[in-house]
Amino acid sequence: MIKALCSEGAYRNDERVHRAASWLKSHQLFGPRTDLAQYISDLPDGGFSFEYDNPWYPDVDDSAAVALSLLDQDPNAFEKFPLIRATEFILAMQNADGGWSAFDRNSNPVWLHKSPFNDMDNLCDPSTADVTGRVLELCGLVIQHANAAAGCPPPDLIAKARRAASRAIPLLASQQEADGSWWGRWGINYVFGTCNAISGLALFAEMERNGPITAMIKRGAAFLARVQHVDGGWGESYATYDLPPAQPGSGPSLPSPTAWAILGLLAAGTACDDHTVSSGIHWLLREQTLGDGEGGLTWIERPHTGVGFPRKLYIGYKMYQNYFPMLALRRYMSVAAAQRVEDGRQVLHD
């Protein structure tokens, strides 16, 4: 929620946001207790765990989410200890194939999934596009801040981020589907995976200028545009994880997937006045409603959009229905303002 509130500079100085950031930092894991450190001897501490209180097992996905949130809240965070150590932990968890898993490193003997004692078809934790994309976004921001007047990361962290990114980008290229999408492990499904992959690749496409990374992003954005629903939203069903899978993008329009698609399209450079983007924004505005006795406005998301184990367990994260739409709307407003300054283009602003 910190990222949604602080995105594009909003609410950075709000006292409540500072308290939330302090709470996050107080839950950063240090010391020899983590299980990971027992078999990864060179693993730095400083990660964050998925659960409220789990000092034994920090994970990559949540650590990256926290790192990106801390940076949104404090643009100078890369020169401060909590973000430096969290980033070092994340980079050290890179798999041999160049990607990242959520909870483990080099846990990819997927043939074990065929064993009779397989745990919900998820005995292993191989590299996935959604986690890799999120970490690649962090790597891009480390590199982007290399020449910053304030908030510049340490030189060795910049070098590590460059090396990690050079290995991660080919992994994302190898995992892109024929239709331009990426499979989503921790959010349903191809819309989520594609949003994360594009967001991770975007900063590197800016450095590259019209090369293979740009082509990957264009194919991903084309997929997102192609699976938009006629009502302007996006959504996918659990059946997209079935074997054989249902059609990607098939399912009722929901707030989180709609926000994911908008974020992916904007990261890909799609203009705000593009019909795909503007109709998605209209869907979010139209679907916002009064909260249940808590005051303010909210979105309703009945089917779960988080994933525990594909085909076995799905998770309803209560804040998703507000967090992602808020982030998408804030990002849209920022991009729209920049476009108006750049060329006077008329975009949705009411």
- Which positions are annotated as active-site residues? 61
Q: Which residues of 9-39 are buried (b: 16+ CB within 10 A; e: fewer)?
A: ebbbeeeebeebbeebbeebbeeeebebbee
Specify burial of residue 210 (Cβ count, 10 A radius: 0-12, 13-18, 19+): exposed
Distance CA(135)–CA(142), nearest Å, equals: 11
Q: Are 131 and 60 in contact (CB under 8 A)?
A: yes
Strand 313-315 to 297-298 pairing: unpaired
